[in-house]
Amino acid sequence: MKIEDVRRVVVVGAGTMGREIGLQCAMHGFDVALYDPAEDALAGAREQHEAILTDFVAGGQLSMPLKEATLARITATTDPEAAATEADLLSESVPEQPALKREVLAQFNALCPPRTIFTTNTSSFVPSMFAEASGRPTQFAALHFHHVVWVSNVVDVMPHPGTAPETVALLEAFARRIGQIPIVCQKESHGYVFNAMLNALNGAALTLVANEVASVEDVDRAWMGVMKMPVGPLGILDGVGLDTAYDITSYWAEALGDPQLKKNANLLKSYVDEGRLGTKTGEGFYSYPDPAYQQPDFLTPEEGEGEGE
């Protein structure tokens, strides 16, 4: 299959990343089937898509006719068979749980046409972990996006040893078609490229808080103050989603038997158990939509401030 043959994309999972990937594809002219078994997730996606595109129109980035055309290209469904119909490319964006990803890929392998290229948007696992479950290993690779997709427009294309070169070339071309900068990885590596660097930073930040070396705010102040950045690692994790961070951290804590990672996972779990998942719930390490780190005096707190929430 050539890039000109790709017309319909099925996005499996209507969470933060699935919503963004689906919208990005639709904005660049592809028909999109957004699948999720949860009606409320799909309703939330539609509402968010409408709000984002309205902002684009208000900012002069998009015309009203293009907004309506984009929305018309997205079909939301809880029916996996309907989603898989005539799919040319599949993007899997379910939670970072290996067993769930294998289950979903196997399910859609039975439903999608033989030509469909399968991809996983996993942010920490490697594609060879899911190649067999995909049922089409030569047509399977990781296509890993970054949040927010139209702003942080870099995508990792990571093949596994059995991925056909034609699949890699197609995914690279597809990434360019939807306004992304493709980074083609030469070999499998956990964390891909940007996330390998970011994960090291986030892990260090969590360790400092979990070990009570410094507060959430002071860890971020250190990074922001030295690097002159608008947000610190724990603020970044709020954007990622503390549930996603917990899934990844707890998996590796168990896989490696690492006591520090277990401690970090427990810290994240304390937030997850309270429903404080980050920006998507309005509460995480910080409160949104006006987090403390965006306040003018965040880097110069008054005496006595700086304790964790």
| pLDDT tens track for 221-271 | 999 999 999 999 999 999 999 999 999 999 999 999 999 999 999 999 999
Sequence ranges of the domains in the chain: 3-184, 194-294
Could you give the count of Cα atoms lying within 13 Å of 59 in the half-sphere of its Cβ? 7
Q: Extract the tokens encoding 49.
A: 């898509």
Q: Which CATH superfamily is domain 3-184 in?
A: NAD(P)-binding Rossmann-like Domain (3.40.50.720)
Residue 123: which pLDDT band, with cuts at 50, 70 and 90?
A: confident
| pLDDT tens track for 22-37 | 999 999 999 999 999 9
Q: What is the dihedral of CA 247, 149, 120, 1, to 10 degrees?
A: 180
Q: What is the CATH class of 194-294? A: mainly alpha
Asked if 3-184 and 194-294 have one fold, the answer is no
Task: Confirm if 272 and 236 have CB atoms less than 8 A apart.
Answer: no
| pLDDT tens track for 128-146 | 999 999 999 999 999 999 9
Q: Extract the tokens encoding 184.
A: 């083609």
Specify the pLDDT at position 307: 44
Average pLDDT, the chain: 96
Distance CA 41, CA 44 (A): 5
pTM recorded for the entire structure: 0.84
